[in-house]
Amino acid sequence: MQLTASNQNLGPINSAQLVGVFKAIAPRSFEKTFDGVATAQINTAMKICIDGLTHDQVNFGLSQVRDNGFCPDPAMFRKWCLGITGFGTDQQRLQDSFKGKHAALANILKWRKDSKQDITNAEKDAYDRCYEMFEEITWAKNADRAMYLAYEAFKDNYADVIKDFAEKGIKQTIWDKPKAVENKPMVLDTKPNSMLPVQTPEQKTWIESRTKELQVEGLSLPKALMQAGREFKSVGGVA
């Protein structure tokens, strides 16, 4: 029921209840938007973003969630509440049409075991950006750590890819595997080129130090490690 101007400020807006309404209206989209974020953090973010809004404004924002069929982040929801409804709407709708990052990772892992498995264009793009890290798992001394870094790098890259695709209007499609050239079998090295070649203790220290510097600049650990590896290789492995 729409609140009137005389009762729109009868009490504070409960951010936790508002988050619950979000989830009820668009459950699938909610899981994508807030994937991996703790409920307490979502509630806190929502409380900050609805500060100063009236009940009528929040009701209007919720009507936009209903009509658009997907769940925006709290900052975007505030814009909707204030009537800025056209801001990023089409891009967000397209971005929401892609698989979530965990489902995408599971799909890539199946595809690595069986190349006949279908993967999407976004999944392939994200995988290509951190291919070396997946290959590193086989040869790493600490396979568990290498696996963690590769998986996290993929999820970070996937989030970037679907954002880029949405901005460019690229839709999710099944990736078409290039057809092999007949009578020209591809010969693969038994051991792939590693992003991080064999290192001396001094070189390893340099990479670890550079990785920390990149993290301070805002990169996640997997992305910082990849960038440090690229810089290390660009100077011929000499640090």
Per-residue model confidence (pLDDT) at position 210: 85
- Beta pairing partners, 120: 174
- The confidence score (pLDDT) of residue 85 equals 65
Compute the distance between CA of residue 211 and CA of residue 229 in angstroms, rounded to an integer.
9
Q: Of 62, 59, 55, which is closest to residue 24 (Cα–Cα)? A: 62
pTM over 0.75: no
* pLDDT confidence of residue 72: 85
Quote the CA–CA distance of 152 and 175 in Å, as a whole number.
22
For the chain, the first-to-last Cα distance in angstroms comes to: 66
Spans of the chain, pLDDT less than 70: 1-11, 85-96, 180-199, 235-239
Q: What is the pLDDT of residue 199?
A: 65
Q: What is the pLDDT of residues 11-54, one digit of tens each?
A: 678 889 999 998 899 888 888 888 888 999 999 999 999 999 99
3-state secondary structure (DSSP) of residue 182: coil
In terms of Cα–Cα distance, which of 99, 72, 71, 88 is closest to 175? 99
d(CA 158, CA 169): 16
- CA separation, residue 204 to residues 166, 181, 207, 232, 239 (Å): 38, 41, 5, 10, 9
